Structure 1
Amino acid sequence: MLIKEAQITVVPSNTRLTIKKNKYCVVLNGTVIVKESQKTKKMCERNIFKTKGHIYSGENGCKVIVLGEEQLPDNIRQRILRPSKKETYTENAKDPQSAPNNLLYDISVCCPFCGTTFTAKQIRFSRLKLIKQDPDLRMHYEQMDPILYNVFVCPECSYANLAQDFDKITSVKKLLPFSNKRPEGSQLTELELAIENYKLVLQCLKKLESTPDKLARIYLYLAWLYEDTGKAPAAKEMRQEALTYFKQAYSTSSDQNSSQIHQITYLIAELSLQLGNKKDAYDFFQRLIREKDAAPWLVKLARDRLYVLRDKA
């Protein structure tokens, strides 16, 4: 049975699944059997794994979704592609605002600027259950929102960055001073604290003269978080900033690989559509569709959004 990308598929019991190699399979329900050489693995609900070898549905069937690496959110990509440091179990039962028990663990992080070692929280992504994906590529999970925990902030110098990029700085810029300040965490809700953390990331990335695509994604994350707080004007402003930086990234695309450019092209189109610029939305959706090597799941999304755009015309 052929499993298409970015599409939830219900599979009957004991059925062989045909999935392109080097894709990531998310088990939404039931079980999947993976046979590799002399080993057989049983993947259960909420497991995420890279496809290889022969794959079969379990006795009771399964429900799966297959994603390309470029479709994985940054925090999930980090968790899968860069296994974390030593884990420490963390209890959260006493904190009513915290994530459900067993979803968080602690890791030890060293600040690349001031050398301070501190403890940061990470998510057990294998225990999250994917619900849906928004047109702007935001993933929704049943138990919690991973982007709330995707920022590391040094408690000493306030250097902040995405977890997967925290130690990726050049030696030349390592001497930059950071004096960013944020409100006390105890005064903020979990969502408000996440917004402040991403604002810190923006300040730091601008000081480090980061690339436009990285700045664009931080603005997009902020747009999502402001939407969650019900602040529509702020969310719209962040979307506009994200669009501006994505366009800069597109115009200086020589440093990007093709999959990154294709995703940037899609996001320019989608954000243009959301902000009411139908001409740019149509233009960039069409550009992506014409790309012969674009990921099929992304082309399908672009076609679907074109239908929406035409309905609004």
Structure 2
Amino acid sequence: MDENALDPGIGTPHVTTAQLDWMLDSDPAIRWQVLRDLTDASAAEVAAERARVATQGWGARLLAARDPDGQWMGGACFPGRGEPPQAGHQPWTSTLPAMMELYDFGLDPTTDTAREMTALVASNCRWEYNDEPFFTGEVEPCINGRTVTLGAYFGADVDDLVARLLTDRLDDGGWNCGTEDGSTVSSFASTINVLEGLLEYERATGGSEELRAARRGGEQYLLDRSLFRRRSTGSVAVEAWLEFSFPTRWQYDVLRALEYFRVADVRDPRLGEAIELVRRKRQDDGTWLLENTHPGAVHVELEQGDGRPSRWNTLRATRVLSWWDTPG
């Protein structure tokens, strides 16, 4: 078969045999998601590949980087329970970003490894801001949203933190990490972090009407701005949001937002411009590039640098387009 031909055994018409082989020639964290989302692989095949996340490659290396008490680098947001760096870039080596990477890798939350990890973090990790236990959260919605994501996915109790996020929502429908300092207008970044957390919580628990209403309000905040435009002028709010990163950390970009709407299965014509941006960024060889790595120390390098083809972004963009182009 021509390596650039569409394979009838592939689960989506948006990927060729060559692209699929390239994505599968990678770490288990990517391979199992490619098998699940882009092929007709059986559930048993997907599960077997997913199980390797804990024992091979990036996932195993990240788990091995833990401290004896189960934290990463002795801190929640910052290594050694320190303060944000005065100069330079935030390190991504402490507990919150490390656990978010394992979430992105799809570490199976039902495994003994994941359960032990979650229990140790719950017992031993405390926030720099208020010295509260990790899954209690702190003050910033962008941090609390990711904490809810982790708690809901890995099985920790984050009910009170969800309740706090529901009360933290601003009048325009979204959230802002600066509300403690008087901000009254939502931000894209804070809003996407909270939306992802609320969606994960809803999937885990069934949620409530109040939670669903809050999610719809946050979604409308982004949709009213076509995911990247200022509502007041229609201009692009931040040019960097048009560049795709991975891991996304706390930052916002269009592909991250589209992944949320894909998982939530919210099909709205106001997503159309963002979808076309993703299509235009597809390279001639069918890949998408890594464009905007967020600098800072890491435990594991996942890609070969900006401007190079990215397996992560190719997987994410392909499944967004496959979802959008498949009748609901």
- TM-score bracket, shorter-length normalisation: 0.3 to 0.5
Q: What TM-score do you get using the length of structure 1 for normalisation?
A: 0.44
Of structures 1 and 2, the one scoring higher in RCO (CA 8 A, sep 6+) is: 2
More helix by share: 2
TM-score w.r.t. length of structure 2: 0.43
